[in-house]
């Protein structure tokens, strides 16, 4: 099974799911943009999960869990995965608790995440 194909530009890109056809739109509402963002984050999380399960774990077996080699190849993928899980959860929570006619204020998700990351990486 081909997992990748060549772009017209010569680069490689992941295949698009047949279930998610790309429909060009001229204008989107804020709610549609938020839904698209959540959809994209879910897809990104699935892609990260695939990289971790299919590639990282299998390569870990081949290099006998040599953390130096794994870190060189996959550096901070676990941090990125955790960040994505946190962001996606926050986005879904904000959308879920916003009332029907109320616009979900997702900016707070990014502000809170930025504060957490600032303390985690820049104590």
Whether residue 31 contacts residue 104, with contact meaning beta carbons closer than 8 Å, is answered with yes
**CATH architecture for segment(s) 28-121:** Up-down Bundle (1.20)
Residue 5, strand partner residues: 13
Rounded to whole angstroms, the maximal C-alpha distance in the chain is 55
Whether residue 45 contacts residue 85, with contact meaning beta carbons closer than 8 Å, is answered with yes
Is-above-0.85 flag for pTM? no
**40-90 tens-digit pLDDT:** 999 999 999 999 999 998 888 888 877 888 888 888 899 999 999 999 999
């Amino acid at each position: 099974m081909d997992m990748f194909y060549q772009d017209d530009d010569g680069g490689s890109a992941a295949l698009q799911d047949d279930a998610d056809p790309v429909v060009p739109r001229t204008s989107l509402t804020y709610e549609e943009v938020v839904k698209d963002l959540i959809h994209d984050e879910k897809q990104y999380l699935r892609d990260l999960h695939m990289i971790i399960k299919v590639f990282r774990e299998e390569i870990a077996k081949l290099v006998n869990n040599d953390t130096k080699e794994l870190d060189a190849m996959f550096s901070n993928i676990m941090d990125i995965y955790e960040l994505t899980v946190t962001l996606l959860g926050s986005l879904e929570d904000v959308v879920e608790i916003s009332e029907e006619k109320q616009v979900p204020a997702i900016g707070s998700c990014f502000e809170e995440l930025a504060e957490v990351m600032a303390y985690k990486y820049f104590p």
